[in-house]
Chain A
Amino acid sequence: MFRTVFPAAVLASALAFSSLASAQNTIKIAILGPMSFVQGENHWAGAEMARDEINKAGGINVGGKRMQVELIRGDTNELQSVPDATNAMERVITRDKADFVIGGFRSEAVLAMQEVAMDYKKIFLGAGAADAKLGDNVEQNYERYKYWFRVTPTKSPDLFRTLMAVLNTIADQVRQSAKREQVKVALIAEKAAWTEGIVKGVQATLPKMKMEIVGTWQPSPLATDVNAELAAIERTDADIVFTSVSGPVGITLARQMGERNMKAVAFGINVEGQKDEFWNAAAGKANYVSTLDTYAEVEVTPKTIPFVKAFKTRYKKSPTYNAATYDAIMLLKDAIEKEGTTNADKLVAAIEKVEHIGTAATATWDKKHDLVWAVGKTSGIAVQWQDGKKVPFWPPQVKGMQPFKMPAK
């Protein structure tokens, strides 16, 4: 009996000790995203860059003790299944013992993941979802939801403000080109939670901006064909096709607009349009398609251009906004080093007060733990596909912007 039990006890003690030692020497950060998809790849890539930079410099200084960053990869599969996302969150917290969680993409999934993270009082830094409800939760029940902060993107009402600012610039260009005051806008928005506010906002705001809405089309986010929608839009003689799409329908839309040689210019949010692979996925038919974006080789902050260049060198492609997991980890590092602890409650208080200059934004947070919106600071940028290249054109005051182009009428 003793011969059996004693070695087992020694082994268990050794394992427990090594686990404790490991826990004491590293800060475990779980990166959660759909890892088989571009969003998750960028979540992970941004985090890897932050981890390597921090660890190379000796780690995070926690009250005088240097601790290395250890990343945990949590595949949420959230594009296919919300339960998979909550399971992934549960797993990284309970099994992998993550100290902090970062990531998420699809609002429906992030809302569910937020609940799990809050149950365990884990700081959850969002790096993908725009739904305003995530921040509203913080305002409505601060004690429960205070561990949530949105690092990227801005919440959907603020995305809307950015969209209107860029749309106004484009509409002015249309007015000059067409030599008329009224601009016709067709709205095409996938049917999803995050577009609801945008659709209502556009319908209410555009008439005040001397723009006529000629119709609103709402295909499924997974639609493989928007031929009928585009045929209807062509009939309206729209000048601008205002897009709010995050799924593959964004590629279909751009490609089929190109195949139809449509004279209207597409602008809005087209998440697929932010990726380098977009041009090829749309078979080279996506000329003049423009979208809000986060990263380009322009000086949004002093850290943007070096980060984008380093990312391109390492991963052979540009980062998408989900790569702001880099900023999230750096934000944690700054807060931990300032407070000298990894205690979640103390870090929440620190992040609430900080102004963090990241690679994607110069960020401060409001009482909902949402980014405080400001053009050129947290608004992001707008880019347009021109002959196979993604060209940044807005906000004009940011160094490195280029002209927006219109298709020939």
Chain B
Amino acid sequence: MLQDILITGLVNGGVYALLAIGFSLIFGVARIVNIAHTAFYMLAAYCFYMLLVKLHLGFLTAGVISVAGVTLFSVLCYRLVIEPVREHESAVLIATIALALIFQELMLYFFGGHYLGIPSTLDGGVRFLGVSIPYQRMLILLVAAAMLLLVWFILYKTRLGLAIRATANDLEVANLMGMNVHRVAMATVALSVGLAAIAGVVVAPVFVVDPFMWLAPLVTMLAIVVLGGLGSLKGSLIGALIIGYVEAITVFAVPGGAYLKGAVALLIMVVVLLVRPEGLFGVAFEEER
């Protein structure tokens, strides 16, 4: 049973990490609580479905167009909806909730409430320590790791990254130093939503595509970023793994209570908020930023 928990938790943690990194980035850098983050993930999944299943464009082409299209769309949404109210955090929160619900209703209108399936990019799987691991899930793990490295590279090895970090550190000083803070925030939104879109393209083949698919991961993702420390990328990764393992342990230890795995994740979030509001690794990562 131990190896089942170890491997299942790792694989599930990888899925969550891919979603949580982007959310954490946009909050940590631009201080935007983007509730629509997983709604963009849903849009990317629908876009991928249309291009791959309906228009038969092939995995790579469909994936690239979906990620690029949703990323560009997010920039438009930022300019039209978020930027005008960015100074008011509660307004941003409400605006992004509204955006997410609009996307949901639009998908419901165009596609109905049908559950859609996307074929796996990679078929088959391997057995490791007696546990079956489909290749698609291994791909998700690899993509999650690659995205972490990419985000780290952009943040710490490029001029854009320097600007993003400077803006995150002190918005007003960065502005006074001549940086276009609005453009930096827009680039951050694009990077963050790009990650969500990549998650949509890579993760959707293991899940079911439907207009409400953004809700469950949103809740889990919030638990992860609170656990790891809001705005901390490494914290998000560690938080994702912890939640992945907690869920696996819940299912293996209490099979009849498998439905509680989401509640357990939320309970952890509440406990962390009460005991250590900055998250498990908040202080260390705060210094790093």
Partners in one complex: yes
Residues of chain A at the chain B interface (Cβ within 8 Å): 34, 36-38, 41, 79-80, 190-191, 215-220, 222-229, 231-232, 234-235, 248, 251-252, 255-256, 259-261, 272, 277, 280-284
Q: How far is the CB of A207 from chain B (nearest CB, A)?
A: 17
A259 and B136 form a contact (CB under 8 A): yes
Contact of B132 among A37, A234, A248 (CB under 8 A): A234
Bound Cα distance A229, B259 (Å)? 10
A232-B4, A283-B119 known; A252 vs B255 contact (CB < 8 Å): no
A224 and B113 form a contact (CB under 8 A): no
B259 and A219 form a contact (CB under 8 A): yes
Residues of chain B at the chain A interface (Cβ within 8 Å): 1, 4, 7-8, 11-12, 15, 53, 108, 112-120, 125, 130-132, 134, 136-137, 205-208, 210, 212-213, 216-217, 247-248, 251-252, 255-259, 261-262
Across-interface contacts of B8 in A (CB, < 8 A): 227-228, 231
Contact of A220 among B136, B252, B255, B259 (CB under 8 A): B259
Contact of B113 among A36, A255, A280, A281 (CB under 8 A): A36
A-B contacts, 11 of them at CB < 8 A, read: A36-B108, A36-B112, A218-B257, A218-B258, A218-B259, A220-B258, A227-B137, A228-B261, A248-B208, A259-B134, A272-B115
Closest to A216 in B: B256
Q: How far is the CB of B38 from chain A (nearest CB, A)?
A: 11
Bound Cα distance A183, B259 (Å)? 26
Contact of B255 among A38, A227, A229, A277 (CB under 8 A): A229
B255 and A251 form a contact (CB under 8 A): no
Bound Cα distance A225, B7 (Å)? 15
Bound Cα distance A284, B115 (Å)? 14
Contact of B259 among A223, A227, A281 (CB under 8 A): A223
B4 and A235 form a contact (CB under 8 A): yes
A220-B262, A255-B117, A261-B125 known; A232 vs B255 contact (CB < 8 Å): yes
Contact of A260 among B1, B118, B134 (CB under 8 A): B134
Across-interface contacts of A219 in B (CB, < 8 A): 258-259
B117 and A281 form a contact (CB under 8 A): yes
B207 and A225 form a contact (CB under 8 A): yes
Across-interface contacts of B252 in A (CB, < 8 A): 228, 231-232
Task: Name 4 extra pairs, CB < 8 A, besides A217-B258, A232-B252, A256-B134.
Answer: A231-B8, A231-B132, A255-B117, A283-B119
Closest to A259 in B: B134
B115 and A251 form a contact (CB under 8 A): yes
A217-B258, A248-B210, A252-B208 known; A38 vs B251 contact (CB < 8 Å): no
Q: How far is the CB of A319 from chain B (nearest CB, A)?
A: 16
A251-B208, A283-B119 known; A217 vs B1 contact (CB < 8 Å): no
Bound Cα distance A380, B134 (Å)? 36
Bound Cα distance A227, B137 (Å)? 10
Across-interface contacts of A218 in B (CB, < 8 A): 255-259
Across-interface contacts of B11 in A (CB, < 8 A): 227
Across-interface contacts of A223 in B (CB, < 8 A): 216, 258-259
Bound Cα distance A282, B120 (Å)? 10
A216 and B255 form a contact (CB under 8 A): yes
Bound Cα distance A223, B216 (Å)? 8
A248 and B115 form a contact (CB under 8 A): yes
Across-interface contacts of B113 in A (CB, < 8 A): 34, 36-38, 79
Across-interface contacts of B114 in A (CB, < 8 A): 37-38, 277, 281
Q: How far is the CB of B3 from chain A (nearest CB, A)?
A: 10
Q: How far is the CB of B244 from chain A (nearest CB, A)?
A: 9
Closest to B207 in A: A224
B207 and A252 form a contact (CB under 8 A): yes
Across-interface contacts of B216 in A (CB, < 8 A): 222-224
Across-interface contacts of B130 in A (CB, < 8 A): 235
Bound Cα distance A218, B205 (Å)? 23
Q: How far is the CB of B201 from chain A (nearest CB, A)?
A: 15
B125 and A228 form a contact (CB under 8 A): no
Across-interface contacts of A216 in B (CB, < 8 A): 255-256
B208 and A260 form a contact (CB under 8 A): no
Bound Cα distance A190, B256 (Å)? 10
B212 and A222 form a contact (CB under 8 A): yes
Bound Cα distance A37, B210 (Å)? 11
Across-interface contacts of B12 in A (CB, < 8 A): 225, 227-228
Across-interface contacts of A190 in B (CB, < 8 A): 259
Across-interface contacts of A280 in B (CB, < 8 A): 53, 116-117
B259 and A191 form a contact (CB under 8 A): yes
A217 and B255 form a contact (CB under 8 A): yes
User: Which residue, A190, A191, A219, A259, has most C-beta atoms of chain B within 10 A?
Assistant: A259
Closest to B257 in A: A218
Bound Cα distance A232, B255 (Å)? 9
Nearest 3 pairs of A and B residues by beta carbon: A37-B113, A191-B259, A228-B251
Closest to B136 in A: A259
A224-B213, A228-B247 known; A282 vs B258 contact (CB < 8 Å): no
Across-interface contacts of B134 in A (CB, < 8 A): 256, 259-260
Closest to B1 in A: A235
Across-interface contacts of B208 in A (CB, < 8 A): 224, 248, 251-252, 255, 281
Q: How far is the CB of B233 from chain A (nearest CB, A)?
A: 24
Contact of A283 among B15, B132, B205, B210 (CB under 8 A): B205
Across-interface contacts of A36 in B (CB, < 8 A): 108, 112-113
Bound Cα distance A216, B217 (Å)? 25
Closest to B215 in A: A222
Closest to A282 in B: B117
B251 and A229 form a contact (CB under 8 A): yes
